[in-house]
Amino acid sequence: MLDHCTHFDAQTLGNVLIRGGFEPESRCVNVVGKEIFTLVRPLQTIGRADLMVHPEFKMNLMEVAEKYLELCAVLVQYARSLRAENRVFGVMGSSTAAAWLCGELDSAVDFFVDEDRYRVGKTLFDKPILSIAQVPAGACLFIPMSDKTACSIISRSDRNDIKFAYYAENRINEMVQRIVSLEAGSE
């Protein structure tokens, strides 16, 4: 997911994947710090109709996944255009979304930014992880997160000498929150 709605350990992630119709095949925790990468395969016993998130949501898990993949493709195109337009370009975050986006941009990222003080000063793919205060003036900082999260990050910053960019139509948090609320109410 390009934005954290919740945090998992290996067991809770496995439970969610099984409930969603997937069987974990293998797990890796040493690609990006504090991240769990899991290879899954569809469970054979679950059909498409069984993948409904909740009757009120009107969208099954396959449709949610398809919408999410469409959003990822749009984010990559937007990030590529920003990279081409800006001499100095950074990405907000230093975990899964940032690592994925750096790969999609063929490592054409000058720096990463994180609000976690324990990550600041380290590197990701040999690029520095900075605080917002350390971002060079005039740089473009792309926030590959939901519009709500991006606006929150920008409002906490006192920087008006850098270009903040985010995809305003990224409302993935709203979709996920609706799923979580419906699931919680049905149990």
**Phi and psi based region of residue 131 (left: phi greater than 0; alpha: psi -120 to 50; beta: remaining):** beta
Q: Write b or e for each residue in 169-182: b if 16 or more Cβ atoms lie within 10 A of its Cβ, otherwise e.
A: ebebbebbeebeee
pLDDT of residue 131: 95
- Which domains occur in the chain, in start order? 78-165 (3.40.50.720)
One-letter amino acid of 125: F
Return the C-alpha torsion angle 127, 128, 134, 135, nearest 10. Answer: 10
Q: What is the DSSP string of 104-172?
A: HTTT--SEEE-S-TTTTT-EETTEEEE-GGGSPTT-EEE--S-HHHHHHHHHH----SSEEE--TT--H
**What are the E-state strand segments in 5-88?**
22-28, 37-42
pLDDT of residue 109: 95
Q: Write b or e for each residue in 19-29: b if 16 or more Cβ atoms lie within 10 A of its Cβ, otherwise e.
A: ebbbebeeeee
Q: In tens digits, what is the pLDDT along the chain, a chain of 187 residues?
A: 455 556 677 777 777 777 777 777 777 666 555 667 777 777 765 555 555 555 555 556 666 677 777 888 888 999 999 999 999 999 999 888 888 888 889 999 999 999 999 999 999 999 999 999 999 999 999 998 878 888 889 999 988 999 999 887 765 555 544 444 444 454 4
- CA nearest 115: which of 130, 102, 128? 130
Evaluate whether 95 touches 32 at the Cβ level (below 8 Å): yes
pLDDT of residue 85: 94
